[in-house]
Amino acid sequence: MKTVDLMDNTVLIPMKLIDLPVKDLMPASATDSYLQNNMNMRAFYFMVKALGIKLSLGHGASSENETNNVPLEREIQDSCHRLNQLTVLARYIRNATLNLSPNHVLPSFQDFESETMFHSENCLLGALKKFADEVESLEKAVLFPCLLRDHSVSEQMPQFDEGTKTLYDVFILLKKLRTELLSGSRNIELPDPKLQQKLSELIHTFLEYTVMARNLTARYEEEVRCA
C-alpha cells in the first residue's frame, strides 16, 4: 500500500505513460494472468490505484478503470466470502461451547446464522483479520475440545472434505487453517486447499504488482526528467 501511495503521489500526469507498454515493468520471472494483453503503463497505474482502494475499503468501493480489474476482483470476493462463512462457523462453535454437554442439543446452524448479527467483510485484509480473531476466541473458549466429538457436522454448515464429520474435526481444521494462513504456508494438506491456493496466488500477485508499481514510479520520474 505504501508503494501504491508513493506511485500515486509521484505520477501527476498519467497521460505521459500511455505509450509505454506495461511489460517493461514486469520482473523477469513474472507470470501474471490478470493483466490484459497490450496494456500500457497508464492503464496499469489506474488498475493498481483501484486495487489499493479495493483492498483498503472493500470490493464494494467505486474506483476508476474498474474493468481492468474484474478477474482479480472476483478472486478477492470469493476469498472474502469463504472467510466470512468460516468466521460465522467459528462463532457458532464458540457459542455452542457455553452449554456443551454430551446430551445437549445444539441449535441449528441455519437458525444461528439467521439470528446472528454479523457484518460480512468485503475487504480481504478485514476478512482475514476477523477470521483469525474469531478462531483465536474459539480456542480460548473451548476448554474441553473432546466434547465436540459428540456433535456431528450438519449439511447447513460450510463444507470441508468427507473426513470432517464432527465439530471437533471442524475445530481442529479451523485452528490449522488460521495458523497456515497467518504463516503464509503453501501446505497442500490444508483443510481448505482451494481457499489457501487462492490467497497464495493473490499474495504472489500483490508482491509482483508492488515491484511493478515501484518500477513505474521510477520510469515516470525518468520520463519527466527527459521531457
> pLDDT for 134-158, tens place per residue?
999 999 999 888 888 988 888 889 8
- Interval 72-88: pLDDT, tens: 888 888 889 899 999 99
User: Residue 219's closest CA among 16, 4, 5?
Assistant: 16
The tens digit of pLDDT for each residue in 29-76 reads: 666 667 766 789 999 999 888 888 877 777 554 444 554 556 788 888
Give the residue with greater pLDDT, 56 vs 218: 218
Q: What integer pLDDT is reported at residue 143 of this predicted model?
A: 87
Angle at 88 between CA 87 and CA 89, to 5 degrees: 90
Exposed (0-12), middle (13-18) or buried (19+): which is 66, by Cβ within 10 Å? Answer: middle
Q: How far is CA 66 from CA 29, 52, 137, 189, in A?
A: 26, 12, 37, 35
d(CA 48, CA 41): 10
Instruction: Report the mean per-residue pLDDT for the chain.
Output: 83
What confidence score (pLDDT) does residue 189 get? 60
Where do the structural domains in the chain lie, given as residue ranges?
Answer: 2-69+205-226, 73-199
Bridge partners, 40 (sequence order): 21
Task: Give the three cell numbers for residue 63.
Answer: 474506483
For residue 60, the model assigns a pLDDT of 56
The rounded percent of the chain whose pLDDT value lies above 90 is: 28
Residue 184's pLDDT is what?
Answer: 65
